[in-house]
Structure 1
Amino acid sequence: MKRVVHWLAAVLGLCITASAAAQIVVGQTSGFSGPVAAGVKEVSDGAKLYIDATNAKGGVNGQAIEIVAMDDKFDPKLAGENAKVLITEKNVVALFLSRGTPHTQAIVPLLDQYKVPLIAPSTGAMVLHKPVNPWVFNVRATYQREAERAVQHLSLIGMDHIGVIHVEDSFGADLLEGAKRGFAGVGKNAVFIEKYDRAKWDFAKIAPLVASSGVQAVLFIGSGNAVADGIEAIRKAGSRAQIVTFSNNASGGFVKSLKENARGVIVTQVFPYERSLSAPMVKEAHDLAVAKGLEGVSPAMLEGFAAAKVLVAALRRAGPAPTRAKIQQALESMNKVDIGGLEISYSAADHTGLDFVDLSIIGTDGKFRR
């Protein structure tokens, strides 16, 4: 029996503070357990900061927002099943913050079938950007742009001998395409390209290859625990190559999973620096987090916060009785909408939303530095 997780439920410690009963119901399926659970929690906590603040001020047009979340355990098949339950049984007006490329792909056929918008899938897969799906609204740059930018950066600092390790799924293939474009742009080729199984990863053969190849850097494409285990294996094999991974791993939970291997790992970012309080969105999220007793926000929390701002903006534009169709129309009417120092725009021909990409490095204190 599937486990339904309401953000109202104490079991996740995600209790919404609005006094009124939720009247706008939004659905989320994501890996609240499994290999990406730490990152999913941080993204969801970031979204909760803004939704709680909105509900505390009376909600949207007098209606509170409820996020009904289901745990798909980072299983694409279960993600699709959960989405159908949310759409057909929970009657959500929109889906929100799905996690993972194959997982979101499993949801997409339902969007057109039931005419339901999906806002801010937590993936930068190109397949969700081009061709434009009328029901998918991204709130982040593409993975291909991240990978291309990473190769360009490494080349700029004199690292030309670069290997690639990628998970064997649509997510891995997508980022690999961006990496190849990056290599072509600097006139280089990858020293090696190795793949691993998403569900049963094993780096026993790949790690010695990395060490013997003498590469200066490795682009490590994957999620959560798999990447942490792979980096550990590479270090045990004797390689000191610079490790670069991507924004899907930009969470404090991922840093903790790296343990002593965290320092020096480069992680691409798709939102402003989380400690730069001169950025209006960062300052707003930081202040709300501190008011709840937290030290501040992580990059993953900023992703969730930005996603929630877009969700709320769309609900406001959709009017006092938001429907799936009205929300979709409201999103496509958004042009240069300021969500805190970043402008988000959609049109019938472009559902990317934002194109911000930066790089960070994990410091000795376990925090991201830029």
Structure 2
Amino acid sequence: MNARSLARWILGAAITSAMMTSAVAADIVVGQVAPLTGLEAKQGMSYAAGLRLAFDSVNKQGGVNGNTFTLVRADDHNEPASTVEQTRKLVAEQRPLVLAGYFGSRNLAALLASGILDQQRLALVGYRTTGIPPSHPLLFNVRADVRDELAKLTEHLATMGITRLGLLHEAGAEAVVAAADEAAGRAKAAFVIRAAYAPDSKSTASLVSAFLKAPPQAIIMVANGAVTAAFIERYRMEGGAAQLFAYSGADIEQLSQRLGEEQMKGVVISQVTPNPYKSSSRLTREFAEAARAQKLDVPVSYMMMEGYIAGRVIIEAARRQGRTPTREAMTATLNAMNDYDLGGYAVGFRPGARAGSKYVELSIISSDGKIQQ
């Protein structure tokens, strides 16, 4: 073979290789339908920012197996019917490999009832609810569930000698009530009063009144950020003296922005991710590096950290599938993911267990309004 022929052969081989690579490589679409406007918009946007941090970081390194990641979002205004409608539209138009970052107990219930996940064989990785979702084979959460948070909170209260508890929860969340009673029983405590709020309610007057009439030593709030903030504000204003404990879905940053230091002082919130403000592990250091490298449109937060973790789990599941990830393989890979250590935070799933982590820590708001852990 002469030099000219050899050059033509090398060029042809390079072109063929490039064509084969481009035919295999793809843009992996991840779909999110969440509240991007309204009272819960900051949570939806923060979760999305975390997902993008993970995807942008890996895309800058050339992607995974030649594939890159794109997040496509749609606003459901926190309305269950819109969650279903926007998901149908997103699935039809964008053909996502996987969904992520959904919000709301009623929203998730409506999505499952619609049959979209089953019909499309589409996994949902990462979601926030004020209830305990059913153990659906296409649901994969990257955080501890409400049961784990209730166990941590009641155990903590028991060590302080606090045994007469109150529970604030969303109406219809019977599984939460049962889990709370079970956790309290193990801690040798009891819920002496419970108050439920309607999901679309904008008033907390009756809730506050109930806890003032039969005051417990401490109140555990399993409610979204808007309800929790409104309850704390009114409860403090009317002289409520019980210690206040919130589950992670209340979003500590959102509460801090909406309430004054005096109202927030002493409030304890369970957290299901490592502290995003401290570089205490490989995960938090990588998160901090990714955040510094991006121009963020929302502040760093626990919610952003959770979105980042969800993004990292999706990336790892795609990596384990090779060059041609599919929806079916995504589900199978996630189900087999029982050993993924992000660096101080482990994620794993097994049949019947949709919560991928058991990590729960407690944060407290100090007298100067700072987050302590």
| Structure 2 length-normalised TM | 0.86
| Residue 75 (structure 2) pairs with residue 74 (structure 1) | no
- Cα distance in 2 for partners of 1:58, 1:124 equals 38
Secondary structure class of the residue paired with 1:121: strand
Secondary structure class of the residue paired with 1:79: helix
| Residue 117 (structure 2) pairs with residue 115 (structure 1) | no
* 1:331-352, Cα deviation, whole Å (9 max, x unpaired): 2232311212222223445433
Aligned to 1:139: 142
Q: How far apart are 1:49 and its partner, in Å?
A: 1.3
Q: How far apart are 1:365 and its partner, in Å?
A: 4.7
Indicate conservation of the 8 Å contact 2:166/2:219, yes or no. yes
* Cα distance, 1:112–1:164 mapped onto 2, change above 3 Å: same
| Residue 369 (structure 2) pairs with residue 353 (structure 1) | no
Paired positions, count: 345
Aligned to 1:288: 290
* 1:231-253, Cα deviation, whole Å (9 max, x unpaired): 11111111122111111123422
Secondary structure class of the residue paired with 2:220: strand
List aligned pairs for 1:358-369, cutoff 5 A.
358-369=361-372
* 1:130-167, Cα deviation, whole Å (9 max, x unpaired): 3xx22111211111221122122112112222211212
Indicate conservation of the 8 Å contact 1:269/1:359, yes or no. yes
Q: 1:26 aligns with which of 9, 23, 30?
A: 30
* 1:208-266, Cα deviation, whole Å (9 max, x unpaired): 33234332211122111111111111111111221111111234223212234222211
Amino acid corresponding to residue 304 of structure 2 in structure 1: M
Indicate conservation of the 8 Å contact 1:164/1:193, yes or no. yes
Q: Which runs of 5+ in 1 are unaligned?
A: 1-20
* Cα distance, 1:124–1:253 mapped onto 2, change above 3 Å: closer
List aligned pairs for 1:264-283, cutoff 5 A.
264-283=266-285
| Residue 304 (structure 2) pairs with residue 304 (structure 1) | no
List aligned pairs for 1:1-370, cutoff 5 A.
23-108=27-112, 109-123=115-129, 125-128=131-134, 130=135, 133-170=136-173, 173-260=174-261, 261-292=263-294, 297-370=300-373
| Structure 1 length-normalised TM | 0.86
* Cα distance, 1:367–1:297 mapped onto 2, change above 3 Å: farther
Identity of aligned residues (%): 29
* 1:180-218, Cα deviation, whole Å (9 max, x unpaired): 112212333212111111112322233233234332211
Point out 4+ residue stretches in structure 1 off by more than 6 angstroms. Answer: 293-296
- Cα distance in 2 for partners of 1:329, 1:313 equals 13
Q: Which runs of 5+ in 2 are unaligned?
A: 1-24
Secondary structure class of the residue paired with 2:363: strand
Larger Rg: 2
Tell me whether 221-230 or 199-208 shows the greater mean CA deviation: 199-208
- Cα distance in 2 for partners of 1:283, 1:176 equals 37
Secondary structure class of the residue paired with 2:349: strand
Q: How far apart are 1:96 and its partner, in Å?
A: 0.8
